[in-house]
C-alpha cells in the first residue's frame, strides 16, 4: 500500500526575520494544507531548505511536523545526504520522531556510480523499517538513478517502495513503469507533468505548486483518479504559467517569494539562496494574479 496517493506538498520551512525556524508559522501552514485537501506533508525536502538546516534543526522540524499533523495525513521526511552514514542517522531520527515514510535524494556532489547508489540505498533501507521513496533529480544533484537501478532497488529491497521522478523525462518514467509495473509507487517531481505521469501509472505528485494552490493540486489528482481525466487535464493546463513562474529561479526562492506576496510572512531563504531579481518577481506576481490568487 502506498504511503499516500494524490498530492503531497513539498512544504517550505518558514523562517523568522533572523532566519530561525518559525515553528508557529509551520504549524499554521500545515493546517492550511490539510484543510485544503493535501494528501501528505513532505517535510525537510529541497523546498524545505534541508541543505541549510543543521542536523539538530532538521530533526526538530520533522518532530514538530509529525506532532502537529497528529496522524491526520501521512508525513514523509526528507533524510537524504551525500554521506551514507549521515542519511542513516537522519533516517533513524525521523523514524524515532514518528514519520510515516522517508524521501531520500540521491547523494549529491559525490556522483556515485549505479553500483554505489544501490549500496547507498540498501544500507539506508536496512537501517530503518519505514518505507522509502527515492528522489531522482539529477539536475540538482549531478547524480541520476537509471530505470534499471530503480527497478533493482524496488524489486529487491522490501522497504524501498517508490521514487519521486524529477528527471523531466517522460520516457524515463515509462521505462520505470515498464520494468516495475504495480510494484512501484511513482510520484511526479514536476508540477507541469502530473497528468502525464498519472497516465503512466503514477500515484501522485510531490508538489511545490501545492504550497500556493493546495486545493487545485489535490484536485488534479482526485479528478484523474475519479475518471475525470479531462477535468484533471484542464486544471493542469490552467496552472502551467504559475508552475513555470515558480521555477523561473531556483526552488524554493520563487515559492517562498510567492507566499510572502500572498501575505503569509514565511521569511526569506537562507544563503546562498537570495531574493529574486525584480523582473522575475514581477513575472511571479503576474502569474499569481492570473491564477486568481490575491496578493497582500
Q: Which of 25, 109, 111, 135 is catalytic?
A: 135
* Catalytic residue (one of 108, 115, 121, 164): 164
CB-count exposure of residue 244 (10 Å: 0-12, 13-18, 19+): middle
Give me 105's grid cell. Answer: 535524494
- With vertex at residue 257, the alpha carbon angle to CA 6 and CA 47, rounded to the nearest 5 degrees, is 45
Give me the residue label for grid cell 493546495. 214
CB 63, CB 97: distance < 8 Å: yes
Q: DSSP secondary structure string, 152-169?
A: HHHHHSTTEEEEEE-S--
Residue 164 known to be catalytic: yes
DSSP per-residue letters across 54-89? -HHHHHHHHHHHHHHHTTSS-EEEE---SSHHHHHH
Stated as kind and residue range, the H or E segment containing 217 is: helix 214-225
SS3 percent helix, strand, coil of the chain, rounded to 5, is 50, 15, 35
Q: Pick from 193, 197, 172, 198: which is nearest to 237 by CA?
A: 193
Residues belonging to the active site: 135, 164
Amino acid at each position: 500500500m502506498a504511503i499516500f496517493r494524490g498530492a503531497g506538498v513539498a512544504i517550505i520551512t518558514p523562517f523568522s526575520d533572523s532566519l530561525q525556524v518559525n515553528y508557529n508559522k509551520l504549524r499554521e501552514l500545515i493546517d492550511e494544507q490539510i484543510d485544503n485537501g493535501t494528501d501528505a506533508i513532505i517535510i525537510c525536502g529541497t523546498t524545505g531548505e534541508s541543505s541549510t538546516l543543521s542536523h539538530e534543526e532538521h530533526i526538530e522540524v520533522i518532530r514538530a511536523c509529525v506532532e502537529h499533523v497528529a496522524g491526520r495525513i501521512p508525513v514523509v521526511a526528507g533524510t537524504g545526504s551525500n554521506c551514507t552514514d549521515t542519511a542513516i542517522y537522519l533516517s533513524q531520527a525521523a523514524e524515532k520522531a514518528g514519520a510515516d515514510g522517508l524521501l531520500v535524494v540521491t547523494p549529491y556532489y559525490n556522483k556515485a556510480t549505479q553500483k554505489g547508489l544501490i549500496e547507498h540505498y540498501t544500507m539506508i533501507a536496512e537501517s530503518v523499517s519505514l518505507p522509502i521513496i527515492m528522489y531522482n533529480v539529477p539536475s540538482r544533484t549531478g547524480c541520476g538513478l537509471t530505470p534499471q537501478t530503480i527497478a533493482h532497488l524496488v524489486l529487491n529491497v522490501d522497504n524501498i517502495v517508490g521514487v519521486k521522478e524529477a528527471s523531466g523525462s517522460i520516457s524515463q518514467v515509462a521505462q520505470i513503469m515498464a520494468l516495475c509495473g504495480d510494484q512501484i509507487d511513482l510520484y511526479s517531481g514536476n508540477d507541469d507533468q502530473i497528468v502525464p505521469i498519472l497516465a503512466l501509472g503514477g500515484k501522485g505528485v510531490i508538489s511545490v505548486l501545492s504550497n500556493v494552490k493546495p486545493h487545485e493540486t489535490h484536485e488534479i489528482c482526485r479528478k484523474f483518479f475519479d475518471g475525470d481525466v479531462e477535468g484533471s487535464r484542464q486544471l493542469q493546463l490552467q496552472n502551467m504559467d504559475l508552475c513555470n513562474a515558480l521555477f523561473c529561479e531556483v526552488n524554493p526562492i520563487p515559492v517562498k517569494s510567492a507566499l510572502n506576496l500572498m501575505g503569509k510572512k514565511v521569511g526569506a531563504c537562507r544563503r546562498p539562496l537570495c531574493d529574486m531579481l525584480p523582473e522575475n518577481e514581477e513575472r511571479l506576481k503576474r502569474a499569481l494574479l492570473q491564477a486568481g490568487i490575491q496578493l497582500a
